[in-house]
């Protein structure tokens, strides 16, 4: 084991996590509503636009879900009703129920009473002027998902149909009489539908449904994001991957929806590798367009020219990307438009974070040059100077087949005084079609910093299958879990063996969700690489994992991993359980008891099987958590146990 310096500088975890997380802000009538863990768990707060003590809007002890884990909104303010719609589940079970609370706060009252008890409702879309909400419903029993249009004023509900592929509402006309819906077979494999008021069912708009596809024929992946009606509702614009592997904007004429035309975008200021990944309408011809460049957010205010065919965008002002909001990740950007004056006034409220700095709330005024960005909060990491934190460095490498893999290496600050070389931890992100980004509010980044504060080097590759590097790269993991993605990790570790700052003879691996799966896979298939591992709610047996999922998730699995009956041999081949007899290193397993994605039985099975083989296994279950950590006390317990476990097995 590695011998540590006798008296390196150390810091308590309480200092690192002293900053509260601030996310998903909305600016309504001079008040800013936002999600935060100010109370020790995610909850809803409000403060004055010019700054004030945040006021709680929910009862103490009621925890909301981490916005990172949700499809759709956590909450929306409905000013015409003097109410807020907030999505509430039970300790991470993800059976979200939409509830009303007053603007001044209160006890959540289910909008639909107990009609959808035990089901999951996702708040996918919302129109503020008409107070219209769109909920997609997973009853947790069947594979079908239903989308409802709900007038929150009258509570009149209109079903927009069902589908086993989502039927998600991604666009609507101003009068809410026309709605665009999307079925998603697998990541970016989309089919567009249209629903008009009075229709008995939705009709196909663009794309080829699965049952109409012919064997041997290629069908383009549409990769369509939110849609916006333009030109008096005669056309749609939306983000798409039809013309550009790394994302672009498309135009579809509704009267002749045979071809998606590319929309030209000018005025790009950023450089680097990444994707155009979202768009939002602000007012009239003003939009926001968001890019993910090398994992960092670039957000522009843009103007749409509808007078040309197809329409064109001009990026007029970068709101994020340049200083002061640089080298980090946006956690929500919301416009507020004042139309009471001759010229409408636009301002934005935003949340932003980096790898070494907590999230803060900001006001952005695009109309001025001086003091355009005003920081409203001052969350701080107490007692730890920036010199002791790890910003990370590029550690990209070429994999076994010549593919470029983006990666970062986080090393302990020299100011801490740890002996070089450092023991190495491989951190594997979840998804798999996700991306490790410089986001201090997400689970991994504070843990990575805590590792480095304790003398560990941390290697974080975004291997094939990750988002952020184009559609082709992201789709490489489909039907290949435990294949080339695993080889990428091993190639990255081989690359680091040349780095004299890292001691590759002392390595551990950890990850959550798919990262937990990969932790189990690597521990079982490459046992000689590891002195310890930590699996956080990772699937160990693809057959039992799929069987235990909600029916709606099983449909997704069939198209991204395989079918448990048709592809049974493949499922067995790619299940870590098949190779558990090769596991040698001690393992810490962490699980939320209410996790609906990787149920507790999966982790319990791993513990039982490995202990029977004589493997040293520790098991930590959180009774009030799901697929992550919503309570700060639980998060701290997990961090401390992981670091102590790795210190025990990699350091003296």
> Cα–chain-centroid distance for residue 531?
30
Rg of the chain over CA atoms, in angstroms? 24
In whole angstroms, give the CA distance from residue 522 to residue 636: 26
* Phi–psi pair at 427, nearest 5 degrees: -105, 125
In whole angstroms, give the CA distance from residue 125 to residue 228: 12
The confidence score (pLDDT) of residue 36 equals 97
- Smallest CA-to-CA distance from 27 within 53, 47, 42, 44 is with 47
In whole angstroms, give the CA distance from residue 575 to residue 581: 13
CB 592 within 8 A of CB 604: no
Fold (topology level) of 386-650: Rossmann fold (3.40.50)
At a CB cut-off of 8 Å and minimum separation 6, what does 427 contact? 436, 444, 447, 448, 458, 459, 460, 510, 511, 515
The confidence score (pLDDT) of residue 109 equals 97
What secondary structure, in 3-state letters, does 327-367 show? CEEEEEEEEEEECCCCCCEEEEEEEEEECCCCCEEEEECCC
In whole angstroms, give the CA distance from residue 140 to residue 565: 21
Low-confidence ranges of the chain (pLDDT < 50): none
Q: In sequence order, what are the beta bridge partners of 227?
A: 238
Distances (CA, A) of 187 to 196, 203, 225: 27, 22, 11
In whole angstroms, give the CA distance from residue 286 to residue 592: 43
Q: Find the farthest-apart pair of alpha carbons in the chain and give their distance in angstroms, rounded.
A: 76
Give the count of beta carbons closer than 10 Å to the beta carbon of residue 577.
21
What residue ranges do the domains of the chain occupy? 386-650
Tokens read off for 550: 């909600």
- Smallest CA-to-CA distance from 134 within 122, 120, 118, 116 is with 122
Tokens read off for 314: 């001009």
Collapsing DSSP to helix, strand or coil, 267 comes out as coil
CB 418 within 8 A of CB 412: yes
Angle at 473 between CA 472 and CA 479, to 5 degrees: 85
Collapsing DSSP to helix, strand or coil, 235 comes out as strand
* Phi–psi pair at 143, nearest 5 degrees: -85, -15
Enter the pTM of the model: 0.95
For residue 298, what is the DSSP state? E
In whole angstroms, give the CA distance from residue 463 to residue 521: 15
Query: How far apart, in Å, do the first and last CA atoms of the chain sit?
Result: 6
Tokens read off for 454: 């304790």
Give the count of beta carbons closer than 10 Å to the beta carbon of residue 158.
15
Tokens 């990428």 found at: 488
At a CB cut-off of 8 Å and minimum separation 6, what does 626 contact? 65, 89, 91, 92, 93, 94, 592, 594, 595, 596, 597
* Phi–psi pair at 373, nearest 5 degrees: -110, 120
What secondary structure, in 3-state letters, does 479-523 show? CCCCCHHHHHHHHHHHHHCCCCCEEEEEEEEEEECHHHHHHHHHH
In whole angstroms, give the CA distance from residue 178 to residue 341: 31
Query: Beta-strand (E) ranges in 594-634?
Result: 617-622
- Smallest CA-to-CA distance from 577 within 622, 547, 608 is with 608
* Phi–psi pair at 648, nearest 5 degrees: -60, -35
């Amino acid at each position: 084991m590695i011998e540590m310096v006798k008296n390196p500088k150390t810091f308590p975890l309480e200092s690192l996590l002293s900053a509260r997380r601030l996310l998903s802000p909305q600016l309504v009538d001079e008040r800013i509503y936002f999600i935060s863990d100010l109370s020790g768990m995610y909850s809803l707060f409000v403060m004055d636009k010019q700054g004030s003590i945040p006021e709680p809007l929910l009862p103490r002890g009621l925890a909301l879900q981490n916005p990172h884990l949700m499809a759709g909104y956590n909450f929306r303010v409905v000013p015409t009703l003097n109410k807020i719609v907030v999505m509430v589940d039970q300790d991470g079970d993800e059976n979200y129920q939409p509830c009303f609370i007053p603007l001044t706060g209160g006890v959540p009252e289910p909008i639909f009473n107990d009609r959808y008890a035990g089901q999951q409702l996702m708040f996918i879309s919302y129109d503020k002027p008409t107070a219209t909400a769109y909920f997609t419903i997973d009853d947790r029993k069947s594979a079908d998902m239903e989308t409802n249009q709900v007038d929150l004023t009258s509570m009149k509900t209109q079903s927009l149909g069902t589908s086993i592929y989502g039927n998600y509402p991604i666009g609507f006309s101003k009068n809410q009489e026309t709605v665009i819906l999307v079925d998603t077979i697998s990541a970016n494999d989309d089919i567009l539908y249209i629903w008009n008021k009075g229709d008995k069912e939705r009709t196909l708009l663009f794309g080829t449904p699965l049952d109409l596809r012919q064997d041997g024929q290629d069908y383009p992946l549409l990769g369509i994001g939110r849609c916006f009606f333009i030109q008096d509702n005669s056309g749609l614009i939306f983000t798409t991957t039809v013309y550009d592997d790394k994302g672009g904007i498309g135009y579809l004429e509704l009267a002749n929806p045979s071809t998606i035309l590319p929309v030209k975008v000018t005025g790009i200021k950023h450089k680097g590798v990444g994707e155009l990944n979202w768009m939002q309408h602000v007012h009239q011809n003003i939009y926001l367009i968001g890019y993910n460049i090398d994992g960092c957010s670039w957000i522009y205010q843009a103007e749409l020219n509808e007078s040309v065919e197809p329409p064109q965008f001009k990026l007029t002002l970068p709101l994020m990307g340049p200083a002061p909001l640089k080298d980090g990740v946006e956690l929500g950007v919301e416009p507020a438009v004042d139309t009471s004056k001759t010229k409408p006034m636009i301002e934005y409220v935003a949340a932003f974070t980096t790898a070494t700095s907590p999230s803060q709330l900001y006001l952005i005024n695009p109309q001025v040059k001086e003091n355009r960005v005003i920081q409203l909060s001052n969350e701080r990491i107490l007692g730890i100077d920036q010199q002791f934190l790890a910003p990370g460095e590029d550690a990209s490498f070429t994999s076994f087949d010549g593919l470029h893999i983006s990666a970062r290496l986080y090393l302990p600050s020299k100011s801490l005084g740890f002996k070089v070389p450092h023991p190495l931890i491989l951190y594997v992100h979840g998804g798999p079609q996700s991306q490790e980004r410089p986001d201090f509010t997400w689970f991994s980044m504070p843990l990575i910093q805590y590792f480095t504060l304790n003398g560990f080097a941390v290697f974080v590759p975004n291997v094939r299958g990750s988002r952020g590097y184009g559609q082709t790269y992201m789709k490489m993991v489909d039907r290949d879990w435990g294949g080339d993605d695993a080889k990428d990790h091993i190639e990255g570790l081989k690359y680091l063996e040349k780095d004299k700052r890292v001691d590759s003879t002392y390595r551990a691996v950890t990850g959550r969700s798919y990262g937990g799966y990969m932790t189990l896979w690597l521990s079982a298939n490459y046992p000689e690489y590891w002195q310890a591992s930590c699996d956080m709610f990772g699937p160990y047996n693809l057959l039992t994992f799929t069987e235990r999922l909600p029916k709606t998730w099983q449909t997704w699995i069939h198209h991204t991993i395989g079918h448990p009956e048709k592809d049974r041999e493949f499922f067995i081949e790619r299940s870590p359980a098949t190779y558990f007899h090769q596991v040698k290193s001690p393992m810490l397993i962490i699980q939320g008891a209410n996790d609906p994605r990787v149920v507790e039985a999966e982790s319990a099975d791993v513990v039982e099987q490995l202990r029977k083989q004589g493997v040293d296994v520790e098991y930590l279950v959180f009774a009030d958590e799901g697929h992550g950590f919503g309570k700060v006390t639980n998060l701290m317990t997990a961090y401390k146990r992981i670091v102590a476990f790795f210190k025990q097995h990699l350091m003296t």
